[in-house]
């Protein structure tokens, strides 16, 4: 009798599992899963909407948070600035695995079902791991198109063959919204960003500017074609280093002095890894150095302050446009000179 009951239990269990599997398969098929998104030379395949995502760069994190996905995130890493204020509450619910690049073991310990990144340097040689390595472990990855399309050198400070446009950011938002099955949220976020950019007129056509990211010894100044190029295009500025396709070329102070911009856009970085990260150190250097202290922008203290994240390809690029436009208006650059 016991043997018979056991046999029946096994059969019923098998039937039950089969029924449950069929129901799950049906639900997945209805939802359109498995779902594939082509991204930076890879097919990103997810069997269901991710529930345990890890984002390895601030820009990627802020997109996921903006899509209302904090409850489906189990870790973030690599921060340069405080999180955007409107995202702070949601961000506080997501564990921070590291302020900088975490070890691969740290990422795997939280059992992610998707890993996202903004830079090839994060998911590539010398980074947390190669995408292929994570795929081999069964973890799909997503890379921001802004760091793998239109670039001559696939690194954070590489050169671009074509200027960055917000369309790549919009695609990133749409792709992630597709992967997580929240397409309406993605469409709403893109529409909001488009409208904010439309609300900024070209306040300073013909005004010269330089965008200083960091380093007082050999400064990183923005070239033509990254996020500062988007900011310049929407505000009408002329970047004095728009003759280079490098995103962040290192230049001499003498070269900057020769080009003598009307305005300096200064990144205030929360990190403190090299001299010139903090706004205070930038201004102190500019006003005490014999070369830079003679710049028109320094003598007139025409500084526009942005976050470091505002100068990376991301939703924060729009913040950068708005901050620069406000600063230019404050200096009276509201019409062609």
Rg of the chain, C-alpha, whole Å: 24
Residue 84: is its pLDDT beyond 50? yes
For residues 321 and 197, what is the distance between their CA atoms, to the nearest angstrom? 8
Task: State residue 205's pLDDT score.
Answer: 85
Tell me the three-class secondary structure of 244-267, residue by residue.
Answer: CCECCCECCHHHHHHHCCCEEEEE
Please report which confidence band the pLDDT of residue 258 belongs to, taking 50, 70 and 90 as the band edges: very high
Task: State residue 230's pLDDT score.
Answer: 96
Residue 286 in contact with residue 292, Cβ under 8 Å? Answer: yes
Q: What's the whole-number mean pLDDT along residues 129-144?
A: 96
Please report which confidence band the pLDDT of residue 302 belongs to, taking 50, 70 and 90 as the band edges: very high
Residue 215 in contact with residue 225, Cβ under 8 Å? Answer: no
pLDDT, one tens digit per residue, over 184-241 is: 999 999 999 999 999 997 888 889 999 999 999 999 999 999 999 999 999 999 999 9
Domains, the chain: 33-197 (3.40.50.1980), 202-330 (3.40.50.1980)
Angle (deg, nearest 10), helices 183-198 and 166-179:
160
Residue 276 in contact with residue 286, Cβ under 8 Å? Answer: no
What are the tokens at 83? 């999180």
Please report which confidence band the pLDDT of residue 125 belongs to, taking 50, 70 and 90 as the band edges: confident
CB-based contacts of 83, cutoff 8 Å, min separation 6: 58, 61, 62, 65, 91
For residues 82 and 89, what is the distance between their CA atoms, to the nearest angstrom? 12
For residues 317 and 226, what is the distance between their CA atoms, to the nearest angstrom? 10
Task: State residue 153's pLDDT score.
Answer: 62
Nearest to 84 by CA among 321, 308, 328: 308
Q: What's the whole-number mean pLDDT along residues 120-137?
A: 93
% of the chain surpassing 90 pLDDT: 80
Residue 9: is its pLDDT beyond 50? no
Residue 172: is its pLDDT beyond 90? yes
The SS3 of residue 221 is: strand
Residue 30: is its pLDDT beyond 60? no
Other CB atoms within 10 Å distance of the CB of residue 183: 11
Task: State residue 117's pLDDT score.
Answer: 97
Task: State residue 18's pLDDT score.
Answer: 43
């Amino acid at each position: 009798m016991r043997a018979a009951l056991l046999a029946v239990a096994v059969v019923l269990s098998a039937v039950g599992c089969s029924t449950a599997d069929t129901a799950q398969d049906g639900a997945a098929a209805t939802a359109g899963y498995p779902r594939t998104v082509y991204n930076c030379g890879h097919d990103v395949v997810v069997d269901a909407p991710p529930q345990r995502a890890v984002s390895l760069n601030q820009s990627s994190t802020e997109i996921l948070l903006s899509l209302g996905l904090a409850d489906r995130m189990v870790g973030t890493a690599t921060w340069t600035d405080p999180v955007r204020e409107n995202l702070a509450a949601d961000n506080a619910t997501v564990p921070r695995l590291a302020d900088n690049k975490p070890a691969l073991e740290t990422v795997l310990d939280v059992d992610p079902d998707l890993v996202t990144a903004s830079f090839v340097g994060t998911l590539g040689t010398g980074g947390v791991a190669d995408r292929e390595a994570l795929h081999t472990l069964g973890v799909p990855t997503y890379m921001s198109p802004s760091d793998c399309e239109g670039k001559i050198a696939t690194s954070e400070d590489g050169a671009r063959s074509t200027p960055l446009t917000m369309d790549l950011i919009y695609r990133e938002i749409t792709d992630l919204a597709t992967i997580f099955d929240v397409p309406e949220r993605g469409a709403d976020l893109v529409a909001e960003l488009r409208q904010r950019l439309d609300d900024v007129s070209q306040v300073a056509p013909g005004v010269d500017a330089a965008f200083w990211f960091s380093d007082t010894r050999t400064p990183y100044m923005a070239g033509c074609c990254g996020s500062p190029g988007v900011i310049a295009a929407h505000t009408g500025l002329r970047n004095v280093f728009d003759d280079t396709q490098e995103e962040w070329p290192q230049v001499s102070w003498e070269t900057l002095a020769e080009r003598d911009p009307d305005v300096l856009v200064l990144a205030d970085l929360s990190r403190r890894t090299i001299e010139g990260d903090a706004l205070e150190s930038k201004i102190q250097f500019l006003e005490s150095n014999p070369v830079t202290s003679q710049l028109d922008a320094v003598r007139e203290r025409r500084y526009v302050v942005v976050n470091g994240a505002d100068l990376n390809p991301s939703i924060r690029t729009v913040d950068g446009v708005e901050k620069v436009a406000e600063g230019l208006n404050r200096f009276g650059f509201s019409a062609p000179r």
